[in-house]
Amino acid sequence: MKNNLKQKLGLLALMLIMFVVTLDTTITNIALPNITDYFGTKLTVSNWVSTVYVLILSVLMIPAAKLGDQLGRKKVILSGLIIFGFGSFLCSISQAIEMLIIARGLQGVGGAITTPILIPLCVSLFGRNQANKVVGEIGAVAALAAAIGPAAGGVIIHYWTWHVIFLVNIPITIVTMVLVMICFEESYDPTISQRIDYIGITMLSVALFLVTFILLKGYDYGWTSPRILSLSITAIIIIIIFIISDIRKKESLLEFSLFKNLTFTASTLIYFTCGFCIVCSSVVFNFFLENIRGYSPLRAGCIIMFSSIMVMIAMPVGNKLGQQLSFRWPLMAGTLMMATGSLLLTQLTYYVTIFNMIFAMCVLGLGFGLGSLSLVSAVQYIPEEKAGIASGMVNAARQLGTCLGIALLVGMLNHNVEVGVRTTRNDAIRIFQTKSFSKNLRKTGLREMNHQFRYSGNSNIDRRIDVSKLRKAAGSINGLSQPSRKSDLYFLYQINDKLHRKNVELRNGKNAFVTRILRVADNAGLTSGNPNNDFDKIVIESGKLRQGDSRLVLGQSKLTTMISLFAQKQALSQALNQIKKDNDYQLTHAFTKTFIVSTVFLTIMVPVSWWTDRDITKKKEQY
């Protein structure tokens, strides 16, 4: 095979690997409600479908990179592809949520094995001079895959089922395996021993597992719960023991010496920041679109997709600028734009326009695309034989950034939503206690508000109030009160009520007068029972007058009741509208407060991007 064709096919293989592994970190988030319904489980259980994948990726990337350097990168990456493909197949046929979670863990093992080996394979195929450019292209694919995940998931869920999300990985994996076998030669790190440090790998894996688990599940169990506190203490002890023992070893597992390279350290932190940033769009903002605005997964995915489009534009342009000038400039611009995009999301309202949301996604996408170039800047000054472990450390940093984003942002969002729902409930209760409602309606309303506005920590927020019960209670005439003084119907009610009372007085006066006449006539013997008798005619007509007065009084009484009933229904409608507005505001405010935190974090990381590359003069001297 010609060398040029071999390089192109090899690059395609590396891009496909990076694409499917990264895509699977975000594509399942949008499918979690469907998976939850399919298995009839709780969201806290089905959430492990996403969690376990990120967890395994974070834990095994660095050990896998070391194994690739020792055992042979081609051999190890093929093993990882087999595991990833088999895990995808098991995911697609899972008939129980437990099986799906285990299969996702297997997928994570495969992804963790393959990802850190991509860069050293790239260097071995293209050489150090071309490697930076090619790594930039691979990084662009990774950024695109992470950003496009929600949109791709929305399309698949809309037209097919969640099973297809995993099925699409299988043919890609098979094609990639064939390309890897054809295009790559076996390579190692000749500077390290072939002896595998099982104890070090185990300690590092356990430490990373505990740290990642604590970040992902700290809010669910409670940060001060005995479980999280004990795991935190255990993680700290293991990390300290590992660092001390690894530094003393002749050949360390983690290669702490790499952190002496300032560009590597700064770039790793920025790539960590990119992992944090992706949570803003793929998780938190997607949650807002689907659960607050009520968008379908497809519609939500289409809005988030604009960030993916910007990634495709930003990465190649930024990579070219970085190669010609210095990566610090596109990386500084990218980090600043990520912070700006997050700042735009702090201005969300319930009635925010689609244009404003798309604009925020575009800014965030541009920033994420430029920021992802830190994958290139991290390894550009690393010795070729250390590219594998360096790649593992950088990619692990990004996964840990995602874990921190989930822990910090999703945890804070849950807290903010809980506070918002509680505030709405208290306001709703106050409304039903102060409005001029009947006792029956007030009792029904208080019960419904307490039942409706309670937050269980699930991602689905059902904001629909059972209006049928309230309307039924509002239609009852038992215990009706007069309309509120602020109501337009209050004046009409008052006039009719006064007329009603006057007519009652008049009717009672007439009745007393007629009764007295009849008593006098009866005592005087003036009545004969003959309808032709004049006095008897007076008696008959007086009776009709009394009946007419009674009907008038009854009609006015009914009119008063109807006015009160209509006023009560009108007040109920106004109350429900007010409660809905309060709820929309509180829930949206929960998101804006969360995005304020992400904005602060991203802004803090902007100065770090200055050290992600050297001056252009020093860079030219390097080459």
Task: Establish if 539 belongs to a structural domain.
Answer: yes
Contact 253, 243 (CB under 8 A): no
Phi-psi map region of 233: left, alpha, beta (phi>0 left; psi -120 to 50 alpha): alpha
Phi then psi for residue 327, to 5 deg, are -70, -15
Contact 144, 26 (CB under 8 A): no
Please tell me whether residue 384 adopts helix, strand or coil conformation: helix
- Residues 134-148: what's their mean pLDDT? 73
pLDDT confidence of residue 623: 43
Core vs surface per residue 225-236: b (16+ CB within 10 A) or e: eeebeebeeebe
CA–CA distances in Å: residue 204 to residues 54, 63, 198, 209, 233: 16, 8, 10, 8, 15
Sign of the Cα pseudo-torsion (480, 486, 491, 492, in order): negative
pLDDT confidence of residue 198: 73
Q: Taking the CB of residue 96, how many other CB atoms lie within 10 A of it? A: 10
Task: Establish if 34 belongs to a structural domain.
Answer: no
N-to-C CA span, the chain: 30
Residues 405-422: tens digit of each pLDDT: 877 887 788 778 878 878
Phi then psi for residue 142, to 5 deg, are -60, -45
Q: How far is CA 547 from the centre of its chain?
A: 69
Q: Which of 416, 497, 503 is nearest to 461 (CA)?
A: 416
Residue 425 has pLDDT above 60, yes or no: yes
Cα(495)–Cα(493) distance, rounded to whole angstroms?
Answer: 6
Cα(467)–Cα(542) distance, rounded to whole angstroms?
Answer: 50
Residues 3-27: tens digit of each pLDDT: 677 778 888 888 888 888 888 777 7
Task: Establish if 561 belongs to a structural domain.
Answer: yes
pLDDT interval class at 558 (50, 70, 90): low
Q: 554: domain range? A: 489-574
Length of the chain in terms of residues written: 623
Task: Establish if 564 belongs to a structural domain.
Answer: yes
Task: Establish if 495 belongs to a structural domain.
Answer: yes
Please tell me whether residue 168 adopts helix, strand or coil conformation: coil
Q: How far is CA 81 from the centre of its chain?
A: 30
569's CB contacts (< 8 A; 6+ apart) are: 471, 474, 475
Torsion of CA 63, 67, 73, 76, to 10 degrees: -90
- Residues 46-56: what's their mean pLDDT? 77
Task: Establish if 198 belongs to a structural domain.
Answer: no
8's CB contacts (< 8 A; 6+ apart) are: none
pLDDT interval class at 459 (50, 70, 90): very low
Q: The tokens 């209670």 sit on which residue?
A: 473
pLDDT interval class at 458 (50, 70, 90): very low
Residue 602 has pLDDT above 90, yes or no: yes
571 or 604: which leads in pLDDT? 604
Task: Establish if 527 belongs to a structural domain.
Answer: yes
Q: How does the average pLDDT of the chain come out, rounded?
A: 76
- Apex CA 140: angle with CA 87 and CA 68, to 5°? 50
Domain count within the chain: 1
Residues 373-402: tens digit of each pLDDT: 888 888 788 776 677 777 778 877 887 888
Task: Establish if 525 belongs to a structural domain.
Answer: yes
Query: In one letter, which amino acid is 177?
Result: M
CA–CA distances in Å: residue 287 to residues 291, 357, 455: 6, 13, 15
Q: Taking the CB of residue 545, how many other CB atoms lie within 10 A of it? A: 14
Residues 317-364: tens digit of each pLDDT: 888 888 788 888 999 999 999 999 999 999 988 888 999 999 999 999
243's CB contacts (< 8 A; 6+ apart) are: 256
Cα(172)–Cα(176) distance, rounded to whole angstroms?
Answer: 6
